[in-house]
Every structure is written in structure tokens, then in C-alpha cells.
């Protein structure tokens, strides 16, 4: 599984900004059909195979995706997609994702690699299939990865059901589960909430700040936290939005005290 740590965030961000500018100049390919999602960020080497075509072509910012499109990242690729149902998804290096349908009910297929996603609260009709299971998303913040025939799920917020023909398991916030062919899915331990932030730090400062803009307010209303820690956490988010390198130090220091 690929995790992007604080020390690598800003070098990757710089390369993301440079590549994104060049990609934006190329322009997106026009599509005919109902849009499922749009590419909002990329780094290097990401490709798409349109449903109507046999070969892959480079992905560019602003590219609309339709049902049946297959997207993939290379060894250095990181891809951000916003789907029409409001789901925000980050594809990490060496990932392949088939967009089946996204609308009233979202159907996706993760063939290999790792995705982090945030689903709008109240949604219960997002399903991601893998070679060994299907993840029924009832939660808002989760990570799914496929390595060979092994599927691993980590839930940071909400609930996700991981199921196959042999059975099912319900992973709640802070839990992880795994599925392999021929065996019912099973829980494997407790999730590290700090990894949720690392999954998001592969994006630009505005994008990352937007994704976690409600995090401080969620803490304030949902958990008993020290006022000073909450204020420091909010300061870190503001620095992140401004692209200040000090954000990494602030968030890394305060996150453990907030259980993040």
C-alpha cells in the first residue's frame, strides 16, 4: 500500500502544479454521454481508456469520465477525481479503476492499487468491487487497496461492508478488514487515523484544505478535545490552504493529541 508522508508532500505538490499547468493547456477531450466524474488533479503518466476505444490516451485536467472508462496511474501517478454524486477519490500509484456507473447508485471496480475516498454523508449506494470482494460504502472516509487477489479495507469514518460469496464483515470507523478468494472477509486490526491525512497530502493545498475543511468542526462538535489543541489544528489547516511548509510540522505535532 502507498502512503505519502509529510516530508514528501511539498516536493510532490510542486511537481503536481507544474504538470497540472501543462496538462490544462492541452485541453480535455469532448465526450458524448452522461458524465460520471471529472479529473481534478494529476501528477505524471496517468492514462484513460475511453469506453468507446481500444487503446489508452493521456489524462488531462478537466477530463470528463463516462461509465465504462478505465483509468490507470503509473509508477509516479496520483489522480484526483470528483464524481457527480459528490464522492471525492484519490488514486495512488499503480492503480487501475473501472468507472461502471455513477449516479443514483455508484458502481466502481478497483482492479489493482489503492484508492482513498470521501463519500458524502448519508450516501449508502456506493459499491466498489475487487477481485475478491465487494465494498458497500456506508461511511464517508475510507481506503481500499488490491494487491494480487488480496483486498484490504480501512475505514476512518462511517461504516463499510466488505462481502463476497463466503460471507461479509462490517468495518466501522477505526477498523480494517481483508478479503481473499474462497474465504469470508475478516477484520485484521485497528486503523491508524493519521494515515487518513497522509492519503490526502498527495494533492495541492487548496484541494486538500477543501477535502478536510470540516475536520476541525467535526472535532469540535463530536469529540471532547482541548481548546488549545483544536485551535492549533485549525491553524495547521489554514497554513495548508496557504501552501505554507509549516503546515506539515503543525499538523504532525497536534494530530496525535486529537487522535487523528
CA 51 to chain centre: 23
Residue span of the structural domain in which 108 resides = 6-192
* Same domain membership, residue 132 and residue 72: yes
In terms of domains, do 49 and 153 share one?
yes
If you average pLDDT over every residue of the chain, what do you get? 76
With a pLDDT cut of 70, the percent of the chain lying above it is 65
Same domain, 181 and 104: yes
Nearest to 74 by CA among 51, 52, 43: 43
Residue 199: inside a domain = no
Whichever domain contains 100, its CATH number is 2.60.120.1440
pLDDT at 190: 67
**How far is residue 119's CA from residue 157's CA, in Å, rounded to a whole number?**
10
Q: Render pLDDT for 71-112 as a digit per residue (tens, 0 to 9).
A: 999 998 989 898 888 888 999 999 999 998 876 678 899 999
Residues 224 and 188 in one domain: no
Q: Does residue 63 fall inside a structural domain? A: yes
Paired sense of beta strands 159-164 and 134-137, if any? antiparallel
Average of per-residue pLDDT across 21-41:
74
150-156 mean pLDDT: 92
> 139 with 227, same domain?
no
- 113 and 221 together in one domain: no
Is the residue at 36 inside a domain?
yes
What is the pLDDT, as a whole number, of residue 70? 97
Give me the pLDDT at residue 135, please. Answer: 93
- Whether residue 230 is found in the same domain as residue 165: no
Which pLDDT value is given to residue 34? 84
CA 113 and chain centroid, separation? 12
Do 45 and 147 share a domain, yes or no?
yes
pLDDT at residue 96, as a whole number:
97
- Which cell numbers hold the place of 47? 492514462
- Spatial distance between the Cα atoms of 59 and 48, rounded to a whole number of angstroms: 6
Q: Are residues 164 and 222 in the same domain?
A: no
**Does residue 207 sit within a domain?**
no
Least confident of 102-111, 142-151, 211-220: 211-220
Residue 225: predicted pLDDT: 58
Q: How high is the pLDDT of residue 213?
A: 46
* Count of structural domains, the chain: 2
Query: Cell 503509473 identifies what position?
Result: 74
**Mean pLDDT, residues 217-241 taken together:** 63
| DSSP string computed for 27-84 | -PPP--S-EEEEEEE--S--EEE-TT-SS-EE--TT-EEETT-EEE--TT--EEEEET
pTM: 0.67
Amino acid at each position: 500500500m502507498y502512503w505519502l508522508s509529510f516530508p514528501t508532500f511539498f516536493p510532490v505538490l510542486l511537481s503536481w502544479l507544474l504538470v497540472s499547468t501543462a496538462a490544462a493547456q492541452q485541453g480535455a477531450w469532448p465526450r458524448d454521454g452522461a458524465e460520471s466524474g471529472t479529473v481534478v488533479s494529476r501528477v505524471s503518466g496517468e492514462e484513460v481508456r475511453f469506453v468507446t476505444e481500444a487503446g489508452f490516451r493521456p489524462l488531462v485536467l478537466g477530463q470528463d469520465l463516462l461509465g465504462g472508462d478505465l483509468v490507470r496511474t503509473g509508477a509516479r501517478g496520483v489522480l484526483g477525481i470528483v464524481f457527480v454524486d459528490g464522492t471525492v477519490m484519490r488514486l495512488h500509484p499503480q492503480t487501475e479503476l473501472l468507472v461502471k456507473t455513477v449516479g443514483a447508485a455508484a458502481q466502481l471496480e478497483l482492479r489493482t492499487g489503492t484508492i482513498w475516498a470521501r463519500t458524502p454523508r448519508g450516501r449508502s449506494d456506493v459499491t466498489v468491487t475487487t477481485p475478491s470482494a465487494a465494498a458497500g460504502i456506508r461511511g464517508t472516509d475510507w481506503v481500499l487497496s488490491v494487491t494480487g487477489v488480496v483486498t484490504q479495507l480501512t475505514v476512518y469514518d462511517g461504516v463499510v461492508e466488505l462481502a463476497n460469496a463466503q460471507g461479509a464483515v462490517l468495518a466501522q470507523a477505526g477498523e480494517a478488514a481483508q478479503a481473499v478468494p474462497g474465504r469470508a472477509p475478516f477484520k485484521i486490526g485497528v486503523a491508524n487515523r493519521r494515515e487518513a491525512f497522509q492519503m490526502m497530502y498527495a494533492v495541492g493545498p487548496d484541494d486538500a484544505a477543501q477535502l478536510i475543511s470540516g475536520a476541525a468542526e467535526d472535532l469540535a462538535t463530536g469529540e471532547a478535545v482541548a481548546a488549545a489543541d483544536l485551535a492549533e489544528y485549525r491553524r495547521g489547516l489554514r497554513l495548508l490552504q496557504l501552501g505554507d511548509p509549516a503546515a506539515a510540522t503543525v499538523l504532525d505535532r497536534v494530530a496525535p493529541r486529537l487522535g487523528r
